[in-house]
Amino acid sequence: MMGREMLTQQRKAMILSALKRDGQVVAKDFATSLGLSEDTIRRDLREMAADRLLQRVHGGALPASPAVADLAVKAAQSPDAKRALGLAAARMIRPGQLIFVDGGTTCLAMVQALPRDLRAMVVTHSPVIAAALIDHPAVEVALIGGRLFKHSGVCVGAQVLDGIRRFQADLYVMGVTGVHAGVGLTTGDMEEADVKRAFANAAAETLVPVTFEKIGAASPHIIGPASLMQTLLVAGEVGEGGLAPFQTAGVSILRA
């Protein structure tokens, strides 16, 4: 039993190594390379997904996003990169625009970087984002209410979806936990995905600012295809090879 357990752990370590190296694991190919059955590898993938070590997809697995933690944990993740993203995103806001702003620590960094004299309207379902704009006298804030999803500090549900329908935005700044050219834009909660999709569909343009560890990663709930966003704003060490598939999909790439 001890030898079998050690073999299982060795396989799982190899799976994690392959994910880090290649960005994906194809169950059939991986099993063949080890001379094992595909069922064995699929069982390993199921167990590892249950432990949130990876995200299962059709035929194999992708790296799991580290950004599915709650707000307190996410606040400590990549703070310098988030500040850089916030500054870069804030520079894209133009006076007179109506902006949808998502919840999350990167979007919070953006609103904190907005000029104090900016004249605009911000529509958000995040009480944290709304509160951060209190000291911006020329920014009108519309807070869409609903059931507070405390994990992410945003409101979700039918009331939020109904509220979004009342607006048409120039720009939506979307927070995600994973961005993959094939799987698309993902997040960790089904109702959050519904809200993000509704915001994107009611905006002329969607901007997605992400730290490097979200590129190529995935979470359980799909917001939409990569083409749902017009612009991907990245920070950190992301190689051109990792961004090329998004450009092929017609997404503009900016670096913070």
Q: Give pLDDT tens digits for 12-63.
A: 899 998 888 888 899 999 999 888 899 999 999 999 888 888 888 888 898 8
Residue 1 has pLDDT above 50, yes or no: no
Q: How far, in Å, CA of 136 to CA of 77, rounded?
A: 27
Q: How far, in Å, CA of 164 to CA of 174, rounded?
A: 14
Angle, CA of 28, 33 and 38, to the nearest 5°: 30
Residue 109 has pLDDT above 50, yes or no: yes
Question: What φ, ψ does residue 72 adopt, rounded to 5°?
Answer: -60, -40
Q: What Cα–Cα distance (Å) separates residue 25 from each residue in 86, 218, 219?
A: 33, 13, 15
Average pLDDT (192-200) is: 98
Q: What Cα–Cα distance (Å) separates residue 220 from each residue in 1, 54, 63, 99, 188?
A: 33, 10, 12, 27, 6
Binned at pLDDT 50, 70 and 90, residue 240 comes out as confident
Q: Provide the H-helix boundaries in 75-180.
A: 79-90, 105-112, 127-132, 158-164
Average pLDDT (220-224) is: 95
User: pLDDT digits over 72-98, tens only?
Assistant: 555 556 788 999 999 999 999 999 999
Place of tokens 């612009």: 231
Average pLDDT (153-175) is: 97
The pTM assigned to this predicted structure is 0.82
